[in-house]
Amino acid sequence: MSSTNIRIKKNQSFDIKLVSELLKLMKPRVMSLVIFTCAVGLLTSPVNVSLKEAMLGILFVAMGAGAAGTLNMWYEADLDKLMTRTCLRPIPRGKINRNQALVFGILLSIISVVSLYLFTNFLSAFLLFFTIFFYVFVYTIWLKRKTSQNIVIGGASGALPPVIGWTIATNSLSLEPLILFLIIFIWTPSHFWALSLYKANDYKKAKIPMLPITDGIENTKKNILIYSLFMLPIIIMPYFIGFAGLTYLLPALGLTLYYNYICFSLYKFKKDKFDIKIAMQVFSYSILYLFLIFVLFLFDKVI
């Protein structure tokens, strides 16, 4: 084999590895949730859009979410290397440097917002821009290291994708996408605080003021339960405004009541203590719970 062929293979291997690490910067697991909730917002809207427009719109929203994730990792590289949950991300491992991440994140942001505007409408592009801005500047840079309410306020950015999906189809806002927003917004605190319970040492080491550190375990458990109970009226709202029928309502209520039950089980455990298995159960179920709620919206739409 010639030396030229060897060099080409080495360069190809390097390029594949670089692309792989860049994709990791975009937080693919978070992106998958963004893609799904955005698609649900689009598909449950009263306006039918072409397959091409739908796919392009969702693609650009996914790129925007990836841009936000990349810029988050760029800014938090010093924290990521201190936490077991994040120390294997590309920047702490030295696979990508911070300047590369910054340039990649900025380029993705610009391309995603401009492309969404060109292929869909201004409202959707503005909401995507606002989502990226809010996640990077309000949540990551301003709130996360300063207040235990970081995830409550910052959760707004993660709740916007279904709204953007709706506006891609309709170029308008109404009560229906607001409810989709509220479902994710109110779900977020209990989801992340359950994680912060059994990852408290990580957050303490990184000096991130998550609720178990600033307010204690007992208060965190109480807030998890309260926010899980807040889900009940929000889950019911789509039925009462005619956005969804009984096909959605009955199983959604069952899923929510079970979520309330396991959050209560976490809360009633010994004072100022928690069962790590229950905390992990709350965190794991919360992901499945949100996914199934949005599946029910689609199923109800088909029925």
| The pLDDT value given to residue 152 | 92
pLDDT beyond 90 at 2: no
| Listed range (83-87, 103-107, 224-228) with the worst mean pLDDT | 83-87
Q: Is the pLDDT of residue 250 over 80?
A: yes
Quote the CA–CA distance of 255 and 294 in Å, as a whole number: 12
Q: Are 35 and 62 in contact (CB under 8 A)?
A: yes
- Residue 287 CA: distances (Å) to CA of 23, 98, 281: 22, 30, 10
Region class of 34: left (phi > 0), else alpha (psi between -120 and 50), else beta: alpha
Q: Return d(Cα 166, Cα 177) in angstroms, integer.
A: 7
Q: What was the pLDDT predicted at 183?
A: 98
Q: Which CATH superfamily is domain 27-173 in?
A: UbiA prenyltransferase (1.10.357.140)
Predicted pLDDT at 7: 52
d(CA 216, CA 232): 26
pLDDT one-digit tens code per residue, 8-65: 444 545 578 888 898 999 999 888 999 999 999 999 999 999 999 999 999 999 999 9
Judged by DSSP in three states, 90 sits in coil
What integer pLDDT is reported at residue 15 of this predicted model?
74
Q: What is the pLDDT of residue 18?
A: 82
Q: For residue 88, give both structure tokens.
A: 């294997």
Query: According to the model, what pLDDT value does residue 8 have?
Result: 47
pTM: 0.92
Q: What is the mean pLDDT of residues 200-219?
A: 91
Q: What is the mean pLDDT of the chain?
A: 92
Q: What is the DSSP string of 94-161?
A: TSS-HHHHHHHHHHHHHHHHHHHHHHT-HHHHHHHHHHHHIIIIIIIIIITTT-TTHHHHHHHHHT-H
| Residue pointed to by tokens 């942001």 | 109
CA angle 80, 183, 253 (to 5 degrees): 125
Quote the CA–CA distance of 66 and 101 in Å, as a whole number. 11
Q: Compute φ and ψ for 206, nearest 5 degrees.
A: -85, 0
How many CA atoms are closer than 13 Å to the CA of 181, on its beta-carbon side? 18
Residue-range domain boundaries for the chain: 27-173, 174-303
Instruction: Give residue 275's pLDDT band: very low, low, confident or very high (50, 70, 90).
Output: confident
- Which DSSP string corresponds to 263-293? HHHHHHSSTT---HHHHHHHHHHHHHHHHHH
pLDDT tens-digit series, residues 102-151: 999 999 999 999 999 999 999 999 999 999 999 999 999 999 999 999 99
